[in-house]
Amino acid sequence: MRRGTAIARTGTRRPPLAGRILRSAALGLGATVAIPLGVLFSVWATPQTEVWAHLAVTVLPTLARNTLALLAGVAAGTAILGCGLAWLTARCEFPGRRWLDVALMLPLALPAYVLAFVVQGALDASGPLQLALRQAFGPAAPSLEVRGTAWVVVILSLAFYPYVYLLARQAFLGLGRGTLEAARLLGLGPWGTFFRVALPAARPAIVAGLSLALMETLADFGAVSVLGYDTFTTAIYKAWFGLFNLAAAAQLASLLLLVVALALLAERRLRGRARFHETARGAPPPRLALAGALGWLVAGLASTVVAVAFALPVLQLLTWVLATASVELDSRYLDLLWHTLLLGGSAAFVTVSGALIVSLARRQFADLPTRAAVGLSALGYALPGSVLAVGVMMCFAAVDNGLNALWQSAGGQRLGPVLGGSIAALLLAYLVRFLAVAAGPTGSALERLRPSTIEAARSLGTRGGDLARRVYLPLLRPGLLTAALLVLIEVMKEMPATLLLRPFGWDTLAVRVFEFTSEGDWRRAALPAVTLVLAGLPPVAWLARRSALQAHGD
Amino acid sequence: MSEVLLELDDIACRYDALLAVDGVSLTLARGEIGCLLGPSGCGKTTVLRAIAGFEPLERGIVSLAGEAIATPSAGLPPDRRGVGMVFQDYALFPHLSAEGNVAFGLRDGSRRERRRAASELLDLVGLGGLGDRYPHELSGGQQQRVALARAIAPRPRLVLLDEPFSNLDVDLRERLGLDVRGLLKAQEIAALFVTHDQHEAFLLGDRIGVMRQGRLLQWDTAFVLYHQPGDRFVADFVGQGRLVPGRISGPGVIDTPLGPIRGHLPGGGAAGCAVDLLLRPDDVLPDPAGPVEGVVAARAFKGAETLYTLRLPDGTEVLCEVPSRLDYAVGARLRIRAEIEHLIAFRH
């Protein structure tokens, strides 16, 4: 019986402590996402009737009208641009198609607020266009003002159409040769094939792309504030920084959240059961050759989109940068860059760690609480940054109040904010917002790790830290690095949450863009903006390479 | 009697509602090669995983060299068992070269010494000079050899092989199988592998166990399994043959549709007892003076011999293997007789 006791000490049936820690951590992350949202709605329990009545009369009608107009306009704009261009590049052949195929993804690297201020600056009274007009026509030249719904819709559509373009293009590429040829044999012409076969078949992908574009529209703060257009996000900012009324901000944020939830529900409805798009096997159908003038016309149209949505704005930015670089490119800029990278790097580390925990827990546990936590952790990406900022701020304010009360009851002086306005609040907001971004590459890296690989390492005598260092880490490294890079870039571009939550002195490039543009100083905003565009290019290159591989049936 | 290395004593493993392994007992001597044979889903891989420490036991004891390494309440973790394993998908580490894979389990000595040991092992499995290659740069057979070298590198007492040749071309299997057997014997490492291919089992295993639905039906040498199957399923699964109905009519005599068949009937049996008699293809001979005539229902040309399926007048089917120069078409009639030394009969 000595044997029996000898092995009992090292038994495998010992409660797996590491597993329990992992599961608790995943549940904690789920709660981290859920709590700020819950807190937002808690303000309705003690409604500030006075403020609310004021808001309801003064701003709500405008907000509702603007938001609806924006949603309808951007939906139409991105659908037409995205689907049309996707069909042309995926199914047709025209001069420069290969080049335009990739170039049409480039606007993804240009944040909407950068596009907005470049257009604003290029077209304002002292901009190159108006100067040229005045030289040609004298004082009678028509003046342009980049304001109002139409301008906002055009600019946001140009900024967000790539979401629809990417997904629709993939769906069109995946259409089987047989499907399209059958449609032709049944008597449909090229237009009939597009409207009656291709478009319905690609509907799930198109709806998914549209919903991404509309979520970005609802979340957008920078572009609408540059263009002086009132939406929920600008109203939240004003309530917080203008009226210093966090409760009113929370009430507005919860309304915006309701719109987001409705949009998500509508997406589910529209996508229906066809959630996954089967990629057809076999040879792709031949492209429709657009010969002669038609081909050149299409090439011209697509090039115009690339030019207006990316090339010309970047060119304008670069001319501004050249004009201001000698002054702006100083140690303050380097400080700014350093702060942005430091913040993005810390956020990437925290977020990727969180994503790793969630992915590991999902792989190991199938119980209801864990699954709920995993599902919740993916929701953060749908939250507008301003909504999230208000939720996080309210949580931290509650904790601060508690701490202050405790400290004062112990005879101390009032401390003021402890956690609110600290770097922790900002990192928490980034974690919640970008957990889903990091979970993608992290989860797929983990899925590629076969259980037998781990078992082989175990049977060769490794375990614990040794196992993590020699097997898990090297195999997961590429996926984790991709996830970290994506989060870093997202954090660099993020504007509203950073603006609302950043501690004093923690300005990022995006914040500096906001500050310069709100003073109409487009030229000085150009350098940080160009830096952001450069940072946005690697993920676009990665997308382009992946889609090129897919197009070759790899 | 050589020393017992591995002993399974009535082990059982459960996946939720399914008892995947149900009361398996066997022993393997030092340096011996055992094989678990059975259809897919019979629990043979689960037995290996229980020995390696990847599946907990529901009941029973696994002992290695006289020391219990797993019981239902406790078990040595896999990394402490000193048991090597070759996985069905090889499970090579994709981030390490062939040499890095082999050296993974080596702990003693300097880095240089471990590298040299790994490269010697690669020479041993016939992959000298390929140590710098990464797994994706190796063919399936080469990956298999790396997996074996990696498993035996820490000099385990026992190596487990899970369907080691199932991903390889048929003509490569036999050659590689014999290489592996020779290597394990030369290194005096005991091995237990699982397969669903009986030729592989006969070729490699000193002892073979036939498993079905979580139970080990028989654990014997290939010769005994073939000539003295202890169970209807084993008789059917191992080798070819058909069970024909019969009745014991006297000591060592069974009346069958092929007439009375005489032979040594182990265990005897009362006259009048209804039995099923196993007839192997080589037990049935064509004979113009034979007692019964069969119709050729199917034929399979195998080169030197042809295997005929014959239907007897009462509907019973038997197999008959004859030299292929005797050629009969489907539908042809053929007189046959049975000639058996040891009768294998199962009572109803």
Domain A17-46+329-518 has CATH 1.10.3720.10: yes
- Chain B positions with Cβ closer than 8 Å to A: 52-54, 56, 67-71, 73-85, 87-89, 91-95, 104-105, 107, 150-151, 153-154
Model-wide pTM > 0.90 = no
pLDDT tens across A368-399, in order? Answer: 888 888 888 877 877 888 888 888 888 888 88
**Is A461 in contact with B154 (Cβ distance < 8 A)?**
yes
- Cβ partners under 8 Å of residue A119, min gap 6: A146, A151, A155, A313
Q: CA of B182 to nearest chain A CA: how many angstroms apart?
A: 23
Average pLDDT over residues A488-500: 89
Q: Best of A13, A460, A472 to disrupt the B interface by mutation (most B CBs within 10 Å)?
A: A460
What integer pLDDT is reported at residue A4 of this predicted model? 38
What integer pLDDT is reported at residue A9 of this predicted model? 37
Q: With 0-12 CB in 10 A as exposed, 13-18 as middle and 19+ as buried, what is A296?
A: middle
pLDDT tens across A35-75, in order? Answer: 888 888 787 777 667 777 777 777 888 888 999 999 999 99
Q: d(Cα B252, Cα A356) in Å, to the nearest integer?
A: 71
**Is B105 in contact with A460 (Cβ distance < 8 A)?**
yes
**Fold of the B4-237 domain:** Rossmann fold (3.40.50)
β-strands B333-338, B67-70 pairing: unpaired
Instruction: Enumerate the residues of chain A whose CB falls inside 8 A of the CB of residue B87.
Output: 452, 455-456
pLDDT tens across A124-176, in order? Answer: 777 777 777 777 777 766 667 778 889 999 999 999 999 999 888 888 887 76
Q: What's the mean per-residue pLDDT of chain B? A: 90
Q: d(Cα B167, Cα A531) in Å, to the nearest integer?
A: 52
Domain B242-347 has CATH 2.170.120.20: no
User: Which residue in chain A has the smallest CA separation from B64?
Assistant: A3
- Chain A positions with Cβ closer than 8 Å to B: 3-4, 7-8, 10-13, 450, 452-453, 455-463, 470-471, 474-475
What integer pLDDT is reported at residue B30 of this predicted model? 93
Q: With cut-offs at 50, 70 and 90, classify the pLDDT of residue A79.
A: very high
Q: Which residue has the higher pLDDT, A504 or A451?
A: A451
pLDDT tens across B99-142, in order? Answer: 999 999 998 888 999 999 999 999 988 898 999 999 999 998 89
What integer pLDDT is reported at residue A47 of this predicted model? 62
pLDDT tens across A250-263, in order? Answer: 888 888 888 888 88
Instruction: Indicate whether A354 pLDDT > 70.
Output: yes
Contact B195, B40 (CB under 8 A): no
Q: Best of B51, B63, B95 to disrupt the A interface by mutation (most A CBs within 10 Å)?
A: B95
**Is B74 in contact with A4 (Cβ distance < 8 A)?**
yes
Q: d(Cα A437, Cα A447) in Å, to the nearest integer?
A: 16
Crossing angle of helices A423-448 and A331-364, rounded to 10°: 50
**Secondary element (H or E) of residue A131:** helix A128-137
Q: Where are the domains of chain A?
A: 17-46+329-518, 63-129+143-325+526-554
% of chain A exceeding 70 in pLDDT: 90
Q: Where are the domains of chain B?
A: 4-237, 242-347
Residue B91: which of A10, A455, A470 has the nearest Cβ? A455
Q: With cut-offs at 50, 70 and 90, classify the pLDDT of residue A429.
A: very high
Residue count (chain A): 554
User: Which residue in chain A has the smallest CA separation from B150?
Assistant: A460
Q: With cut-offs at 50, 70 and 90, classify the pLDDT of residue A197.
A: confident
Backbone angles phi, psi at A466, to 5 degrees: -60, -45
Instruction: Indicate whether A8 pLDDT > 60.
Output: no
pLDDT tens across B84-105, in order? Answer: 999 998 999 988 999 999 999 9
Closest CA to A256 of A292, A224, A228, A297: A224
Q: What's the mean per-residue pLDDT of chain A? A: 83
What integer pLDDT is reported at residue A14 of this predicted model? 43
Instruction: Enumerate the residues of chain A whose CB falls inside 8 A of the CB of residue B95.
Output: 474-475
Instruction: Indicate whether A277 pLDDT > 60.
Output: no
Using CA atoms, how far residue A442 sits from A32, A427, A464, A479, in Å, is 19, 19, 20, 5
Instruction: Indicate whether A280 pLDDT > 60.
Output: no
Q: CA of A329 to nearest chain B CA: how many angstroms apart?
A: 43
Instruction: Indicate whether A187 pLDDT > 90.
Output: no
| Token pair in block for residue B6 | 């591995």
**Fold of the A63-129+143-325+526-554 domain:** MetI-like fold (1.10.3720)
β-strands A288-289, B33-37 pairing: unpaired
β-strands B18-29, B158-162 pairing: unpaired
pLDDT tens across B22-39, in order? Answer: 999 999 999 999 999 999
Residue B189: CA count within 13 A, CB half-sphere: 26
Average pLDDT over residues A18-37: 87
The yes/no answer to whether this complex scores an ipTM above 0.85 is: no
Q: Which residue has the higher pLDDT, A264 or B180?
A: B180
**Is A13 in contact with B80 (Cβ distance < 8 A)?**
no
Contact A105, A165 (CB under 8 A): yes
Q: d(Cα B273, Cα B275) in Å, to the nearest integer?
A: 6
What integer pLDDT is reported at residue A3 of this predicted model? 38
